[in-house]
Amino acid sequence: MELDDLKSAWNKISSEHEKSQNITENEFKIILKKRTVDISDKIRRNIRIGMGIILGWVSLNFAIDFLLTPIMEKQLDKPYLTDELMFWSFLLEALNYLLIFSAIIIFWIRYNKIEHENIDTSNLRNKLKGLISVLDSYRKIFYIVMAVIIIYLIISFSSGFFMEYNYQVNQYRLDIKNLSMIKWAIIIFTFLFTLGIFVAIYYLLFNLFFKRLYGRYLKQLKLTLKELEEAPTGN
C-alpha cells in the first residue's frame, strides 16, 4: 500500500512539473512574440525614415544639378561641358535614383505583405523566417545598388577629371612629354586620393544608413529565431 501511495505521489509531482514546464514554454513564446512585434514596428518606422532620407538626398542632388550646376557652368565656361554631355549625365543620375526608389518600394511591398499577417505563438517561427528573408534580400539589393552608384561615381569623376586635365593641357599648351616622373606621380596621386575620398564617403554613408536602420534589427530577428528553435518543448 505504501508503494502505491509513493507511485501516486510521484506521478502527481511529475504531472505538476510537466504542467509547469508547459506554462514556462508558453510564456517564453509570448515573450518572443512581443519582441518580434516590437522589432517589426521599429523596422516599419525606419522604412519611413529611410524613404524620407532618400527623398531628401535625391531632392538635394536635383537642386545641385538643376540650380547650382548651370550657374557654375556659366562661370567656369568649360567648352567640354556640352548640353549633350550634361543631358547624358543627368539621365544616368536619374536612372540611379530610379534604381534606389525601385529597391525600397519593392522592399516596402514585400515587408508589408508579411508584416500584415496575424502573428501568434503557433506561426511565430514562420513569421520570423519571413521577416528575416525579406531583410536579407533587401540587404543584398541595397549593396548591389550601392555598388552601381559607386561605379557611376567612379566613371563620372574619372571622366570629369580627365576632361579637365585635357582642357588644361590644351588651354596652356603644356607639353606633357616633358613632365617629370614626380609631376606624373602627383597627378596620379591627386586623382586616386580624391576619388578614394569620394568612394569612402559614399560607402561609409550607405553602410551606416543600412546598419542603423535595418542591420541591427536583422540581427535581433535572427537571435530571436535562434532562441525560439532552441527553446525546450513540453512532452
Average pLDDT over residues 208-235: 80
d(CA 91, CA 72): 19
Q: Which of 48-52, 134-138, 174-178 has the lowest mean pLDDT?
A: 174-178
pLDDT at residue 195, rounded to an integer:
92
Return the closest-CA partner of residue 101 out of 147, 58, 43, 62.
58
Q: pLDDT tens, 128-159?
A: 888 888 888 888 888 888 888 888 888 888 88
pLDDT at residue 129, rounded to an integer:
86
Q: pLDDT tens, 202-216?
A: 899 888 888 888 888
Do residues 104 and 51 touch, judged by C-beta distance below 8 A? yes
Q: Percent of the chain, pLDDT > 90?
A: 5
- In this prediction, residue 7 has a pLDDT band, given cuts at 50, 70 and 90, of very low
Return the closest-CA partner of residue 119 out of 221, 209, 213.
221
pLDDT at 20 over 60: no
| DSSP-assigned letter for residue 116 | T
Cα–chain center distance at 38: 20
Cβ-proximal residues to 99 (8 Å cutoff; 6+ apart), any chain: 145, 148
Q: Which of 8-12, 157-161, 230-234 has the lowest mean pLDDT?
A: 8-12
Residue 147: all three cell numbers together = 555598388
pTM of the model as a whole: 0.69
Q: pLDDT tens, 66-122?
A: 676 666 666 666 655 566 666 777 777 778 778 888 888 888 888 888 777 666 556
pLDDT at residue 23, rounded to an integer:
47
Cβ-proximal residues to 27 (8 Å cutoff; 6+ apart), any chain: none
Return the closest-CA partner of residue 104 out of 60, 56, 139, 153.
139
Give the sign of the dihedral formed by CA 31, CA 32, CA 35, CA 41: negative
Q: How many CB atoms lie within 10 A of CB 107?
A: 21
Average pLDDT over residues 35-47: 83
By three-state DSSP, how is residue 67 classified?
helix
Our CA angle for 104, 108, 109, nearest 5°, is 120
